[in-house]
């Protein structure tokens, strides 16, 4: 039984998010998703996500390919989450390439190519100018 873990904000949920979650889930038997808290996003980007934390958790939980969801409170807690959830494989988009290699003694780490031409930031920008 291979347990896969991945992390993200998944704000303004879009096709790039579905693609990475489906590909991550296909790499194992059970997919665990850490959804970044509103507070963590504020710390990282100096703005809150458009969708509230509970709604982002609800959206990700309702996907067929997702086994379980938890709230990621801190970027530095990756190892704790991996151990607690007994993850065998960490999957991240390739915008994070190299950033989590240090976790390799504890679990496999894989970076998957991002879906081109779509991002939450771009969607917000498009909505703003229309």
Residues that bind ligand C2G (CB under 6 A): 7-11, 16-17, 19-20, 36, 72, 75, 92-93, 95, 114-115, 118-119
Q: Provide, rounded to whole angstroms, the least separation between the CB of residue 15 and ligand C2G.
A: 8
The single residue of 45, 52, 86, 99 carrying the catalytic annotation is 45
Smallest distance, ligand C2G to C-beta of residue 84, A: 15
**Burial class of residue 15 in the structure, from the number of CB atoms within 10 Å of its CB (0-12 exposed, 13-18 middle, 19+ buried):** exposed
Question: Of 2, 43, 44, 86, which residue is the catalytic one?
Answer: 44
| Active-site residue flag, 52 | no
Active-site annotation holds for 64: no
Rounded CA gap, 98 and 92, in Å? Answer: 10
The nearer residue to ligand C2G, 4 or 20, going by C-beta atoms, is 20
Report the residue number, 57 or 92, with the smaller CB distance to ligand C2G: 92
Write the CA distances from 115 to 37, 59, 93, 107, integer angstroms.
23, 19, 9, 25
Residue with smallest beta-carbon separation from ligand C2G = 93
Helix (H, G, I), strand (E, B) or coil at 50: coil
Nearer to ligand C2G, 1 or 67 (CB): 67
Contacts of 34 (CB under 8 A, 6+ apart): 5, 6, 7, 8, 69, 70, 71, 72, 81
For residue 34, what is the enclosing H or E element? Answer: strand 30-36
**1 versus 116: smaller Cβ distance to ligand C2G:** 116
Instruction: List the catalytic residues.
Output: 44-45
């Amino acid at each position: 039984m291979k347990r896969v873990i991945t992390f993200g904000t998944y704000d303004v949920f879009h096709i790039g998010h579905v693609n990475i979650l489906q590909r991550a889930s296909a790499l194992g038997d059970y997919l665990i998703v850490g959804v970044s808290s509103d507070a963590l996003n504020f710390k990282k980007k100096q703005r809150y996500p458009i969708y509230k934390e509970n709604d982002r958790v609800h959206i990700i939980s309702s996907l067929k390919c997702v086994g379980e969801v938890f709230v990621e409170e801190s970027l530095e807690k990756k190892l704790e989450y991996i151990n607690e959830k007994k993850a065998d494989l960490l999957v991240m988009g390739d915008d994070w390439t190299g950033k989590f290699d240090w976790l390799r003694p504890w679990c496999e780490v894989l970076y998957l190519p991002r879906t081109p031409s779509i991002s939450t930031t771009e969607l917000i920008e498009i909505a703003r100018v229309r």
